[in-house]
Amino acid sequence: MSLADDRTSSKADAANRRRRPGRAQAAPGTVCRFVVIGSPRTGSSHLTSLINKHRDILFNSAIFHGNRVWVHWPKEDMTEAALAELAALRKHDPDAFLEKIYAANYGRSAVGFKMFSHHDRNMMAKIVADRSIRKVVLYRKNVLANFSSRLIAREIGRYTFKADDVRPKRPLVRFDSGEFVAFHDKYVSFYRQIFEDLSVKGQTFLPFAYDEVNDPWLLSNLISFLGADPRAAKFESSTVKQNPADIAARFSNRAEVEEFCRSQGVEHWLQEGETRFASWGDRSSGD
């Protein structure tokens, strides 16, 4: 799907996408600095792929990931030496590292990255408190879906697939109510704290749900929140949904899952759909 306005395309746009750090950089004061705060299995890779199609937005991945600095720079700038230098800077001076990430805007008007609950907590606190950084909070309403997706990804040993990847057979995972409750409480506690911190500090932020990612109008609102023109967006993702919308079907002990959800009043978690503001005939046939 696309919201692209053909009138916004030009040769200059293509050149703009190829700009290197230090070349024709957007003035620091004109660049929108943003962060997408979330958790694993909330659709962040899909959202990153979609947003990065916009000519004016550079959306890096998890720059505070423990094992690697994940940036979406041109390949020639992502040498092992350059990434090692970034990782060293992050370790010794995380504030300078963050400024370097935002400074590498490649001529884009908005630069950001995603950050998860288990990443650098000190930097998370600083970033949340920094009013110059716009915040998008990405979450998944269906906690059971998030839980099962994590178990499956852990079993497979891989978290993201592209459309042309050969995917292994999806394993069935086992539901343990005690493990799920512990996961649920930790998950919601993180988001409650983020929402509280932002609200108490009077900051404007954009909550964005997993089931809203594929609606073009809600994505347009996110693009506008980042100060970019939604008419220039092309929402074409390279990642694919991995698991069925029938959440109970992901578990080997389906009956136990269904009984747990019924007894706890969360039967709506047994299925997961999408928010689509489209007529019935225009809706996608499935995931």
| pLDDT at 285 (0 to 100) | 39
Position 41 in a domain: yes
What is 117-168 written as a DSSP string?
Answer: TTS-HHHHHHHHH-TTEEEEEEE-S-HHHHHHHHHHHHHHT----BTTS-PP
Position 287 in a domain: no
Position 108 in a domain: yes
Range of the domain at 108: 6-278
Domain count, the chain: 1
Position 284 in a domain: no
- CA 103 to CA 9: how far, in whole Å? 25
| Segments of the chain scoring below 50 in pLDDT | 1-24, 285-287
- CA 96 to CA 146: how far, in whole Å? 34
Position 283 in a domain: no
Chain segment 8-34, per-residue pLDDT in tens: 333 444 444 444 443 345 555 589 999
Q: Is the pTM of this model over 0.85?
A: no
Position 76 in a domain: yes
Chain segment 64-98, per-residue pLDDT in tens: 998 889 999 999 999 999 999 999 999 999 999 99
- CA 118 to CA 276: how far, in whole Å? 31
Position 285 in a domain: no
| pLDDT at 169 (0 to 100) | 82
The CATH number of residue 65's host domain is 3.40.50
Position 261 in a domain: yes
